[in-house]
Amino acid sequence: MRNTFFNDGRFRIVRGTDHALGEFLQLFDEEAEDADVDDIVLDWDEFLGYNINKTGIESGTPLERAKAHIKNSYSIFEQVAAVTKPNSLKIG
C-alpha cells in the first residue's frame, strides 16, 4: 500500500507498507539538482534501510529527515511567506 503523506507541488512524501520491504518512505523534490531517478532525494525501507539519502541530513527518523530537508530547502522569503499562511509548510 502506497499513500501520499504530503504534497505541496514541489515536495512529495510517499509512505506505506510493501509485503517484501516492510514500511517505506520516499521523498521527491522536483527542484533538486542532485536528485536520483524520478526526483527521489530520500528512499528508505525497513528491510534495506537508506537506499538513497541526498538530503544531507544524517540523524533522525526517515520522516524527520524528510521534514528537515523540506524546511531547509525553502528560502527565507518562502518561509516568511508561509507565516502568513500558517499551514502551508505544515507536514503531517
Print burial letters for 12-42: b (CB count within 10 Å at least 16), e (below 16).
Answer: bbbbeeeeeeeebbbbbbeebeebeeebbbb
Its pTM surpasses 0.85: no
pLDDT value at position 40?
A: 93
Chain segment 44-89, per-residue pLDDT in tens: 999 999 999 999 999 999 999 999 999 888 876 666 666 555 555 5
